[in-house]
Amino acid sequence: MKSKAFTDDQNMQPLIRVENLSKLHERRSLAGAREEVRALDGVSFGILPGSTLAVVGESGSGKSTLASCLACLEFPTAGNIWFDGTDVAAVRESLRRQVRPQIQLIFQDPASSLNPGWRTLEILLEPVILQGKFNLKEMRRRAASLLERVGLSSEIMNRPPAELSGGQRQRLAIARALTLEPKLLILDEALSALDCSVQAQIANLLLELQDSLGITCLFISHDLAMAAHLADEIAVMHRGRIVEQGPADRILKHPEHETTRQLLAAVPKITSGEQGAPEK
Amino acid sequence: MRFLLRRLAHAFLLLVGVSILAFLFTALAPGNYFDEMRLNPQISPESVRALRAQYGFDKPLPVRYADWLNALFHGEMGFSFANNGPVAPLLLTRARNTLLLTITATLLAWGIALPLGVWSAERLGRTPDRLLSWGTAALLVVPDLALALGLLVLAVRTGWFPTGGMASVDFETLSPLKKLRDLAWHMILPATALVLSALPLLVRHVRAALAEVLNAPFLLAAVGHGIPRRTLLYRYALPAAANPLIALFGFSIGALLSGSLLIEVVMSWPGLGPLLLEAILARDLYVVVGGVLFSTLFLVGGNFLADILLFWADPRIRTERSAG
């Protein structure tokens, strides 16, 4: 995946293009005074099909707001989100509902992002089941192949998520997102709640999936090293703005903005050869 | 299954415990039915003594309890001195009436509370939700008794509703359909009082439980899958929020039942409430114990029902591992 997006033709249309996106959160303090929080402030970027953009920033920098705006879960206050030729920030709710399956979000905490009352099979096929038209046998087969795809055994099909490990749950969340065959996968701190070795496994799974399915990804994280490992391009956010954006290697080696340097300083020293590979 | 069996055993033990305590406390309370007889100069001390012996009051307490328990297994519940008849048939009709009122009120209260709570949670923090919260808070602080009396005043002033009883004088002559209508008409007032007393708590719990689920990432994920809003609320969010609500359901049966005893007295509904009150005042021992036992039975039954529902709704309880 890496290195492809920028060596290929530059004329390729981005799958999703964000222009000047802003989001204001209004908060009312105890005294009743209104207070405005600018979660997103004129954010613009585009992601080419099949590539990965990582958005990195400290907590409270607006990353998650960005994710839920892109996934059509929240309306931005201003700006456009062009997805497949339509501005999904401006259309009606009923149209947004049709767009949502194509943009899937994976959350930080796999324990709370899976319905605790359901079994694996139901969780996996939730969108199909709730729409009421399905053939159980066919669905089981599909579930099994999805589970295999994310490296889970189909033995867990009848187990509730409470009986799965953290890594298994996050794999299941990814499999569930894949059920709908989305075009864009948004990973909102999807690795942060997992321990190191599991993080690496899931990261590899993501790279594999991208290779085989050609999914476009938006990887949101505070971990600059992991972002550089997974993404072609990195955008650094600070207080709702993108302060620095560029190819992953460049950001890692020659950070320009103060925030980037701080984030880099927070990363334990990396000696992996991957980041050192020269960009073509 | 082990979960349910264990709960059943708990329920049974609870019933035994309550019967012992009820028996003990009623017996320990100063005075009994025959004490007042002794003050009556027309009854000789000998006949009082004979009566006491006839009903076993000269025996020690454990023996009396054992006798009563033995009778219970034969479908009898002792003798009512005040009504001069066996307790069991008396209690059964009264219990049936109480059950009728309580079940109706429970179903009505939940039938209103669920959609109202969901509706409110969907609009969390916005004006309609706030208004409803104020409304339920206001209703919550009104005592049940004031509520019942208020409704009674309304019935007397307007004459729209009967002010007591559960049937009209000509009830026996009516056709089955009209009987049902007559019954419903008599039930409106006490049922409304019960529903109003239970509703605010239920609505608030439904709202809170649902609001929590609506914020959960797994629900956001479901929104992200493009599932329609209605389906999402009722088939996805509500089942996920059901656990605390099912526990509350069991509790609400108990609350409605104890509320019912009071409201039955105020609105003269011929249920366990008025009977228990009279029996306590007359120190009619076996009626008191039987009435308490029936109330407990309903309460335990309600909770057991909630346990079954919980068992059915939550896979985590169904897996023996977590129950073990």
Q: At B268, which CATH number? A: 1.10.3720.10
Q: How many independent structural domains does chain B possess?
A: 1
Q: What is the pLDDT of residue A31?
A: 67
Tens-digit pLDDT profile for residues A68-116: 888 888 888 888 899 888 888 888 888 888 888 888 888 888 888 888 8
Structure tokens at A4: 């492809």
Tens-digit pLDDT profile for residues A131-154: 556 677 878 888 888 888 888 888
Amino acid (one-letter) located at B72: L
Angle between helix axes B242-266 and B272-282 (nearest 10 degrees) is 60
pLDDT band at B108 (very low <50, low <70, confident <90, very high): very high
Superfamily classification of domain A4-266: P-loop containing nucleotide triphosphate hydrolases (3.40.50.300)
Residue B28 maps to a domain: no
Residue B300 maps to a domain: yes
Residue B55 maps to a domain: no
Q: What is the mean pLDDT of residues A180-194?
A: 87
Inter-chain residue contact A127 with B225, CB threshold 8 Å = yes
Mean per-residue pLDDT over chain B, rounded: 83
Which residues 6+ apart lie within 8 Å of A278 measured at CB? A249
CA distance A200 to A108: 15
Q: Is the pLDDT of residue B77 over 80?
A: no
- Across the strands, what pairs with A105? A186
DSSP secondary structure letter of residue A257: S
Inter-chain residue contact B226 with A173, CB threshold 8 Å = no
Inter-chain residue contact B218 with A113, CB threshold 8 Å = yes
Q: How far are the Cα atoms of A70, A193, B157 from residue A179, in angstroms, in the given order?
A: 19, 23, 64
Structure tokens at A203: 């990261």
DSSP secondary structure letter of residue A19: E
Q: What is the pLDDT of residue A270?
A: 52
* Interface with B, mutate which of A102, A105, A128, A179 (most B CBs under 10 A): A105
Residue B10 maps to a domain: no
CA distance A179 to A276: 35
Residue B16 maps to a domain: no
Residue B315 maps to a domain: yes
* Chain A residues within an 8 Å CB radius of B319: 160, 163
Tens-digit pLDDT profile for residues A223-278: 888 888 889 999 999 888 889 898 988 888 888 888 888 888 887 765 555 544 44
Mean per-residue pLDDT over chain A, rounded: 82
Inter-chain residue contact A117 with B315, CB threshold 8 Å = yes
Structure tokens at B102: 């309580």
Host domain of residue B106: 88-323
Q: Residue A217 belongs to what H/E stretch?
A: strand A216-221
- Across the strands, what pairs with A186? A105, A218
Tens-digit pLDDT profile for residues B287-312: 888 888 888 888 888 888 888 888 88
Residue B43 maps to a domain: no
Tens-digit pLDDT profile for residues B245-293: 888 888 888 888 888 888 888 888 888 888 888 888 887 888 888 888 8
pTM to 2 decimal places: 0.73
CA distance B21 to B295: 14
Q: Is the pLDDT of residue B111 over 90?
A: yes
Q: What is the mean pLDDT of residues A175-187?
A: 88
Residue B136 maps to a domain: yes
Residue A32 Ramachandran class (φ > 0 left, ψ -120 to 50 alpha, else beta): left
Structure tokens at B284: 């009619």
Question: Which stretches of chain A sit within 8 Å of chain B by CB?
Answer: 68, 71-73, 97-101, 103-105, 107-109, 112-119, 126-127, 130-131, 160, 162-163, 173, 176-177, 180
Distance from CA of A145 to the nearest CA of B (A): 19
